[in-house]
Every structure is written in structure tokens, then in C-alpha cells.
Amino acid sequence: MNLSDVLHSIQLSNNSEIVMELVRLNETTKEQGLILTSNEAKSLLAFRKKVLRDHARIELSTGVLKELILVFSASPYIDQDHYIEILNELQEIFYYLKNETEDTIGDSKLIQQMSDFYNGPCAGSLELLRSKMEELAETSRSNIVQHNSLWERDE
């Protein structure tokens, strides 16, 4: 059994607790008319698992998903009909960016930047958000390359 399988089995054993944690976030999000059912929470967790696997990432906590829910639930561009779909896309964008920026941007800062773009210049467009966040990733990669080349000159 490889590490990924071990971690997955641990997560499965806590799955019902995690689902309940996500559903409890409804206490905050219901003010914006956004409610997660337990089946929708399970769906979000299944998508999270897929995204983590697709991006070769391991994450032991669901803190990022919870923070995405809490931060983006305040958006005027999210409604109940598209809630799960948008949260899934936001997870995809987030983990893609974590890889593209080589984890140089903290989770909360990245989520806040995503929210600022989504609610600001992107006006609720996930396509525009992807574009803006790709620009951010490009800037981050340039800074990493520049930083690394400065260190190479010292040798």
C-alpha cells in the first residue's frame, strides 16, 4: 500500500465527520442563501480528492475547502443553483495555482486574491478568474526564476 492509499483510507474513516463539518458551515452561508446538503458536501469532497490527485498534491485537512466556502459565499456572483459547480472550479483553480506558484503564496492569501479578482474585475466570471490567476502565476514564476538566478551568480 502506497502513502496515497494510506492517507486516503484515513480520510475515508473521517469522511462523515468532514461532511458534517462542511454542512455546519451552512450556519454562516445561509445568510447569503447558500446551503450544502450532505450529498453536495460528499460531492465536493470527491471532487477535492480528484483535484488533489490530478495535481499530485497531498493535503490532510479540508481547511482550504472550508475557507473557499466561507470566503466565496459572500460573493454576490454565487447563487444556490451554481454553488457546487463554482466551488469545484475554485478548488481546481486553487490547486493549479499552488503548483504553478510552487507554494510561494500562502493558502489564505491566495484565496483572498482569488476572491478579490472574482468579485472585482472578473465580475463573477470563472474564465476571467483563471486568466487573472494565470497572470499571477506567471509573475510568481518570473520572480522565482529571477531569485534563483541571483543565487546562481553568487556561486
Q: What is the pTM of this model?
A: 0.84
- Give the number of C-alpha atoms closer than 13 A to the C-alpha of residue 54, restricted to the C-beta side: 14
- 8 A C-beta contact, residue 70 and residue 78: no
pLDDT of residue 118: 98
Which amino acid, one-letter code, is at 5? D
Residue 75 phi/psi, 5-degree rounding, is: -70, 135
Q: Which three cell numbers stand for residue 61?
A: 485537512
- 8 A C-beta contact, residue 22 and residue 66: yes
Extract the residue ranges of the chain whose pLDDT is less than 50.
none
Tens-digit pLDDT profile for residues 112-153: 999 999 999 999 999 999 999 999 999 887 876 666 655 555
pLDDT of residue 142: 80
pLDDT of residue 23: 97
Report DSSP letters for the chain, one per residue. --HHHHHHHHHHHTHHHHHHHHHHTHHHHGGGT----HHHHHHHHHHHHHHHHHTT---S--HHHHHHHHHHTT-TT--GGGHHHHHHHHHHHHHHHHHHTTT-S-HHHHHHHHHHHHHTTTTT-HHHHHHHHHHHHHHHHHHHHHHHHHHHHH-
CA 99 to chain centre: 12
pLDDT of residue 143: 75
pLDDT of residue 98: 95
